[in-house]
Amino acid sequence: MAEAQQGAQDLTEVDTMTPEDLPGSSSLTTKELQQNWRAVKQRERPVRLLFEIPSTRIVEHMLHKYVLYQVVVMRSGSFDSRRVSVERRYSDFSRFHHKLLEEFDEELEEVQLPRKMLSGNFSPESIGERRLALQDYLAKLYATRCVRHSPCFSAFFTEQEQQRAHGLLRAGQFRPAAELLQTVLDIQEKLLPWQKPTLLVPALAALAVCYRDLDEPERAFSAAQRALPPVRRYGLTRYRAPLLELLVDLGYQLGRPVAQLQDELTALRDAERGEASSHSLKEVVIQEFL
């Protein structure tokens, strides 16, 4: 409970400010002060994650029947124009909960996973109650500071899609792989304020590979370019030389300035005695999520 209260406090600090706290407020009229204050509040409105489960669908596969819940992830505090969603079964929620309990048993003492329904109970009323209960469950997890910062939290919303996308990529189905990876990236960007800055690197690298093979060099260059700064800063050595190689090749193709990238790649190769460039980015990406 203390974790949840602390999380709420962290996200509402901006609300403790007053108009008089604005720089230069003493020289403004009351109307100007109010206008500036509204602008500051709009810019600094605390960003929170919101979870909605607006719909469900029943799936019958062979002798099995189960419910899929559509989980929508949104960010408040700023205009979020892209509603992105994934589908999860109750068993996915259950595995997720048990993983969290292994790490945060005491912190989750008051956060309960909704009970499993009786076998064969697929009435609209029961599914509707479960849908709302799971939605509330996600909100409570997010309110627990240690949970929303945990890698398990982001993995619940993206890992299945990343695995499917990499399977498609390995099969040469680059278009559907890129579409799935974009969903992963959209969700990860919403989660990023509470996760490690390296969270986006695998998806961006895989997107760069997909767009390169789809002959979309601009999009491939953009994805690789976004992945490079966290790779440099946090020492993800397996990605650095392959990303630089891809950027140099695409840069020449697009007529971009690549001299600095080429110098960085050369220095890296010299420092690693050739080992840094032993694998292409595609080879590195293919090894992920095996």
Q: Which pLDDT does position 70 carry in this prediction?
A: 98
CA distance 30 to 207: 51
Q: What is the mean pLDDT of residues 58-71?
A: 90
Q: What is the mean pLDDT of residues 96-123?
A: 89
What are the chain's domains?
48-149 (3.30.1520.10), 157-289 (1.25.40.10)
CA distance 206 to 192: 18
Q: Which pLDDT does position 133 carry in this prediction?
A: 96
Q: Is residue 104 over pLDDT 70?
A: yes
CA distance 11 to 107: 19
Q: Residue 110 gets which letter from DSSP?
A: T
Most confident of 20-24, 107-111, 172-176: 172-176
- Helix 259-271 with 237-254: angle, nearest 10 deg: 150
Q: Is residue 6 over pLDDT 80?
A: no
Q: What DSSP string runs through 198-213?
A: GGGHHHHHHHHHHHHH
Sign for the pseudo-dihedral over CA of 101, 105, 111, 116: positive
Which strands sit side by side in the sheet containing 48-61, from one edge to the other?
A: 48-61, 64-76, 84-89
Q: What is the mean pLDDT of residues 223-228?
A: 97
